[in-house]
Amino acid sequence: MVILEVSLLSGFVLASRSRMLLEQRTIIKKTEVEANVVYIYLEKLNDESQTFILQLEQVIQMSNLKPASIKIYDYYQPGGLQIFSCS
Q: Tell me the pLDDT tens digit for each residue of 21-72.
A: 887 888 889 899 988 899 999 987 778 888 888 899 999 998 888 888 888 8
Q: How far apart are CA 15 and CA 57, in angstroms?
A: 6
Q: For position 78, what pLDDT does the model report?
A: 65
CA 8-86-73 angle, 5° bins: 75
Look up residue 19 and give its DSSP letter.
H
| 87 pLDDT above the threshold of 60 | no
Domains and CATH numbers, the chain: 2-86 (2.60.40.690)
Which of 14, 3, 12 has its CA nearest to residue 66?
12
More confident residue, 3 or 24: 3
12, HSE (Cβ side, Cα atoms, 13 Å): 19
Question: pTM of whole model > 0.85?
Answer: no
